[in-house]
Amino acid sequence: MFGIHYNFSRVGISVHGIVDIHELTLDIDDTLSFKSDLIELSFTRRFTGLLKDVFVVKHLKIVNGDLRLDSKWMNSEGDFELPEELPYFPLENIDIENFRVTAIDEEQGVIITGITVSGNGLYSIKIPDITLIHPDIEKNIVLELETEITAYQKKYFVESLDILADEFHIKGSKDEETEVLKGEIQAFLPEIASLFGHSAKGEINADFDLKLTGAIPEAEGVVTVSGLEYEGFKPWDIHAFFRVNPSNLLLNRLNLFHNKKVFLSLNAMFPFKSKKATGNVRLYRFDLDDTLNRMTTSGIVNLIVSGKAGYVFNVETLSADFDVNLVVNELDVDNKEILSLPREAFVTGNCTVSPDGVKLHNGIVKTRNETSRLIVKDSWFGFAESMKFHIPIIPGSWVNLEDVGEITGFPVKGTGSVQALITSFYEDPEISGTFSGSSCHFDGFNAETCELDVEMKNFLLALKIKKLRQASLFNNNAVVEIDFDPTPITVAFSANNITGSIEDAAKVFDVDASGFGGTISLSFDGFFKNEMERLNGNLNLKNISYKNEKIAD
């Protein structure tokens, strides 16, 4: 009836009101099945307050019980709500021998065998074998559990606890003054990583207090992590405070340390039912170069980041969405050989961090007064095996080169629009882009307007001038190539048919040539390595005059 089927060999009742049921089998369709050699039970009422009483199981004995939960029922979503406080404990004398629980769907679940429970008010629980099964781990997790629990009316205390597995050990005992279980957790990283076919070193340690008095169970404590190494990655030392109950997990001041100083601190609230954690993270001089070194790679770009971000972390995808508000300092490229940014930059936007890397969906990078403003969209920074990055600077961006100061040691100035793509591996980036600006200056050379293409590959930076104009002076095919691979750096340059007036040509070099007339045509090429090793040129002057007095044709 109603999907419930049962059978037994014999039922009896003693003079003390104890019912005994022999060889019971019970099946509830799509929910569970149960069988046992023997069940003994009796009931009574207990007074709990004015005009209040409850039914309790005065005596319960189960011999060789076997409970199997159906996968359909396991996978269905229920609407169970935790009570505001722990209920009246409905059991008194308990004697359970060799109980087994199986809860497995097609590929995951738990098998618990050999459960023994005995006591009245103070209960001893021993479970020699708890096997956890999941398709994402290469071997089952097997636990042993021993605990003593006080459960009487509405009083609950954990007297002692010992859970042992190859991957971790949890042990604790009750503090008699506070009636709180004080314990410690050790997690062994080599064994945990091996579950997923990976390698790791180090330990995670946690001290905790477990409270069962009055309200729902709650544990709080401190976690410390040190000496970690995971698949070659060497994470930072970690220290965190936590509080957890059956409804949620709270992390407070989870701090990451570099050189014994906190550089990252976050908090999190994780309601288990939502499967998403929310919180804030603060960065205190986060060092990109140190991060890449811990990932067993290196990069030619280094920067220091400070600031804050709000985030939402998805447990199912192991990814977090951030709204960032950051300040970047000490940005340099190739140990300041290529670039060293003298001013701080401000970064706002939203990004996603996952096990594969960081995706910056939309971002703005700007100087304090927005003299420079870069728009970054759909960029990403890879972790693990890829170790690649992809940063597009899209149209609508502009830069004031005075914010940069110098490029490869040469002073630069100029304001204009910029568009670029920076990509490839961290240690060998590739750059392509365009700049179109005015009031340009490069190491003593001036131009009213300039348009140039920039390319960098295999540490060879090529500046191809599409258009250069200083009053009447004009050129559209000059090239500068800077090779950062050799030591020292080499510079090759060339220009053909630079034409214009003598006076305007002099202004390129900040030389006053007022009064001089005539035109100039210049082509040259050269090579620089510590000093000028080669310089070839061809200069043609026509109609030379000074204060309208002709000097030469």
Collapsed DSSP state (helix, strand, coil) of residue 72: helix
Q: Is the confidence at residue 271, as pLDDT, over 60? A: yes
C-alpha 475: how far from its chain's center?
A: 49
pLDDT for res 465: 85
Rg (Cα) of the chain, in Å, rounded? 37
Q: How many Cα neighbours within 13 Å face the side chain of 401?
A: 21
Q: Output the pLDDT for position 477.
A: 80
Alpha helices, DSSP H, located in 153-228: 189-194
C-beta separation of 233 from 255 below 8 A = no
Coil/strand/helix, residue 255:
strand
Q: What is the pLDDT of residue 86?
A: 75
pLDDT for the residue numbered 116? 98
**Tens digit of pLDDT for each residue in 200-248?**
887 788 898 888 765 677 888 998 887 777 766 667 788 899 898 888 8
Q: What is the pLDDT of residue 467?
A: 85
Side-chain half-sphere exposure of 418, counting CA atoms within 13 A: 23
Cα separation, 31 vs 15, whole angstroms: 35
What integer pLDDT is reported at residue 64 of this predicted model? 97
- pLDDT recorded at residue 335: 62
3-state secondary structure of 547: coil
How many whole angstroms separate alpha carbon 46 and alpha carbon 88?
10
At 423-441, the pLDDT tens digits run 877 667 788 999 999 998 8
Q: Is pLDDT above 70 for 78? A: no
Residue 79 in this model has a pLDDT that exceeds 70 = no
Contact assessment for residue 426 and residue 298, using Cβ atoms and an 8 Å cutoff: yes
Residue 215: what pLDDT?
60
C-alpha to C-alpha distance for 207 and 239, rounded to whole angstroms = 11
Q: Is 191 helix (H, G, I), strand (E, B) or coil?
A: helix
> Which residues lie below 8 Å from residue 267, measured CB to CB, with a gap of 6+?
250, 251, 252, 253, 254, 279, 280
Which of left, alpha, beta for 293 (phi over 0: left; psi -120 to 50: alpha)? alpha
- pLDDT of residue 149 exceeding 70, the answer is yes
Residue whose tokens read 């992590």: 225
Tokens 């630069």 sit on residue: 412
Condensed to tens digits (0 to 9), the pLDDT of residues 273-322 reads 888 999 999 988 888 777 766 665 556 667 788 999 999 999 888 899 99
Residues 62-69, mean pLDDT to the nearest whole number: 95
Among 75-89, 380-394, 491-505, the range with the most confident prediction by mean pLDDT is 491-505
Maximum distance among all Cα pairs of the chain, rounded to whole angstroms = 139
Average pLDDT over residues 482-500: 84
Question: Is residue 54 very low, low, confident or very high in pLDDT (cuts 50, 70, 90)?
Answer: confident
pTM over 0.85: no
Average pLDDT score, the chain = 85
With bands split at pLDDT 50, 70 and 90, how would you rate the model's confidence at 22?
Answer: very high
Separation in Å, CA 116 to CA 95, 99, 285, 304, 457:
8, 7, 54, 57, 69
Q: Which two tokens stand for residue 100?
A: 């087994």
Give the C-alpha separation, 210 to 250, whole Å. Answer: 14
Q: What is the pLDDT of residue 275?
A: 85
Neighbours of 246 (CB within 10 A): 9
The first and second tokens of residue 99, run together, are: 């109980």
